[in-house]
Structure 1
């Protein structure tokens, strides 16, 4: 693959869409400003800009070339100023293939190449190449030589451990995802942005219509709206994680997922800093968990999670067999932990309830009729504080350390000593008197940023033990 190649001509379309997105705000602003007085001039100006955008997209595609030569991926691009980017095979951390709906119609894919220095975006991105060429490029850029790959037996792929999510589990993941809150937040933000474009008469007539419906019908409509949002949450999860498959090939994990946009993600196991399981308030009583990994370096493309999902949902008793199959060095994460001392419970209750306790006092003084509402919230926050105390803990196993904590979801994290970048012990005066301490552990996360795990109100002697473990002190 030493000859220069261009992207598929469909890249012109993707370039054009990108340019339109960047200029969308200016176009909308121009339309609002000139729609009455000089609308014809706006149309002429917009037409000229549209033609320039198309020409820019075509020239960007024509001037963009790539090739693999001397163990390097060499990319040349730029219309007026020619730029060259050389990426050595040794620097490449992962190569991901992403296929949107348009890509899949034309049997294309997008190749994202990440190095240790990648931050908010991939080091290099080939927007549109044939799927066969993308797969060939990924094989070519692997550190294992092509000769060694050709000498492998043809049935070697059958020995690669693999696991695929079932439709039933995918549906359960959607129904318990809790994404209704996210959808409500997006809807609220969208309505606030669109409010300035909607006439006031529309709001007045709509408000009068709602008042005329009556309380009962309003409640029914509200429940129907929540049901529709719940269904949208289920659909979003199933589209995102549809056909989720994880495969272990030598020293890498390959993840394929997505119904509309198909993604093939590569996770080098040497970049895994920690492995954890997450149990939400909805899934924990049902016995379901999500398995994830914290990955060092790499990029944070738009829409991706800060933690890499290794499997969206599984039964809690399936975690150990899963880890034994794919990451045996992290097995044992579900073993019993050393719990927090009982005298630490008052700190968790106070932190969870103090704000709502103040609000309850204010409402009791100002609006005593509605005192029942903050009391319910106060009881819920107190219960959450009890859960946080109950679920906190740690376990030290030779070179591994496991910690567990809860904010809303319960998280259990296992990490190796060599992955811990920083250790912090923190105490205030009350802690000293109670012989308690907080511990904070830091590892490298995505974009090279630190990822921190904090467990509060541990026994001071246990924190000192972890400090000795971290500092190699006997």
Structure 2
């Protein structure tokens, strides 16, 4: 049994930076404008009070967060305001994640997160600053204690357990060419545009007071008088600028990507600046998701994600990128090499042409009326006819990408959101499957199938709309009949 330990005091600084980086810009901006309007430094009083309160909370959280490695369990004490104590059995620990950033790495520190299946995406133990050597030692110690605990439990039930191999069976790395392609074909452009627009809305007062930005706003207000060619050039330049930012961010996120394949788990390392190390046991994987945005679909590439149950490092609770870029023609071989629990199943087209015609009526015709009104009332409104063409293209892609495949207890479904998505899962991993058909869909002989896969919190949903009624009923029978029979068998055993 070890003694009670806590993280390095430098974790106070890291926690403060993490807490304040979302609000530090509005605080500084508000203080500057307060000084300009009031002519005094009193505008900084409230921001400084907030900083002091945040710093005090970080100090208290660091002081109270302690852990102890006991014989059969991990003892954790945490909580800044409300103190909580928890005993975690080693065999209940799902994974230990190690993360670092350029500053912490330079100083020789890492962040350690211990996750369990019932953590709902939150770490049971989070240490913001631990020496690298101690972090790796803690991870290895927890792994050994977990293996020992599982071996003891198996021996008590007379079950033979195979030991986890120390060396990986295979390692896969992202080559330089693939890294460049993954960066320039990333789909983070929309996120950046939304973030910039939200930031612009928060600093509109800055634009109205700084002469440089004021001149830009004046030119923008006069844009209706600028020739159309110049407007197009400005728009294309902004799109190119956002695309470059998205590519650079993606380059840093997936740089030095390495996938280590073990007998029962994967270890994922990635990141040029903020380095992350994740361990994902195979038994936690609920589904494999193949993502193809329009650019990668044209080039013949796919991104492989896995949907997991239990806590994860990072912002996403259940989604983990297994590999950033895989040639679609080599996908089946890739899933075999990484020992995927869900094989790739050939898909059959399951949508009917009647559904495509109905999408034209439901989506394309309203946008035609909108474009007609914009043409009559707005300058350059005739260019709004691009909207019906875009909606028509999306409707056709949605019709073309609807696919379904079943092999025993395994299921493969493809559909389109903003990008094409293919889900590979198993019947026992699905929480529910719903068959829906409105009156109009009954006339068109089509239906909608919606399914939920067990996830870390609420689950992962996928839906195929306007598939043929025959495919929908067959899939529903494949799912429902199995559980109906199992329910009757359980009821019979209960009466006996």
Report what 2:471 is aligned to.
Answer: 462
- Relative distance call for 1:119 and 1:358 in structure 2 (3 A) is farther
CA displacement, residues 351-403 of structure 1 (integer Å, 9 cap, x when unaligned): 44244123123234435x74542322211211221111111021111111111
1:410 to 2:420 alignment: yes
1:145 to 2:148 alignment: yes
Report what 1:151 is aligned to.
Answer: none
Kindly indicate whether the alpha-carbon contact (under 8 Å) linking 1:121 and 1:301 is maintained by their aligned counterparts in 2.
no
1:332 is matched with which residue: 344, 358, 369? 344
Indicate the SS of the match to 2:288: strand
Report what 2:94 is aligned to.
Answer: 93
Report what 1:360 is aligned to.
Answer: 371
1:347 to 2:348 alignment: no
- Relative distance call for 1:349 and 1:271 in structure 2 (3 A) is farther
1:182 is matched with which residue: 187, 191, 196? 191
Report what 2:249 is aligned to.
Answer: 236
1:292 is matched with which residue: 300, 305, 309? 305
TM-score w.r.t. the length of structure 2 is 0.83
Structure 1 residue 109: deviation in Å?
1.0
- Relative distance call for 1:9 and 1:371 in structure 2 (3 A) is closer
Across the aligned residues of Structure 1 and Structure 2, the Cα RMSD in angstroms comes to 3.2
CA displacement, residues 382-440 of structure 1 (integer Å, 9 cap, x when unaligned): 12211111110211111111111112211111110101110111111122223222111
- Relative distance call for 1:219 and 1:95 in structure 2 (3 A) is same
Structure 1 residue 26: deviation in Å?
6.7
Structure 1 residue 467: deviation in Å?
1.7
C-alpha separation in 1, matches of 2:81 and 2:122: 24
C-alpha separation in 1, matches of 2:332 and 2:238: 40
Structure 1 residue 141: deviation in Å?
2.0
Kindly indicate whether the alpha-carbon contact (under 8 Å) linking 2:293 and 2:420 is maintained by their aligned counterparts in 1.
yes
Kindly indicate whether the alpha-carbon contact (under 8 Å) linking 1:356 and 1:374 is maintained by their aligned counterparts in 2.
no
1:169 to 2:178 alignment: yes
- Relative distance call for 1:54 and 1:325 in structure 2 (3 A) is same
2:261 is matched with which residue: 225, 241, 248? 248
TM-score w.r.t. the length of structure 1 is 0.87
C-alpha separation in 2, matches of 1:441 and 1:281: 25
- The runs of 5 or more residues in structure 1 that have no matched partner are 149-154
How do 1:21-420 residues align onto structure 2 when only pairs under 5 Å count? 24=24, 39=40, 57-58=58-59, 60-77=61-78, 82-142=83-143, 143-145=146-148, 159-200=168-209, 202=211, 204-208=214-218, 215=227, 220-299=233-312, 301-302=314-315, 304=316, 307-333=319-345, 335-367=346-378, 370=380, 372-420=382-430
Indicate the SS of the match to 1:457: strand
- Relative distance call for 1:18 and 1:294 in structure 2 (3 A) is closer
Indicate the SS of the match to 1:117: coil
- Relative distance call for 1:54 and 1:331 in structure 2 (3 A) is closer
Kindly indicate whether the alpha-carbon contact (under 8 Å) linking 1:297 and 1:444 is maintained by their aligned counterparts in 2.
no
C-alpha separation in 1, matches of 2:33 and 2:381: 48
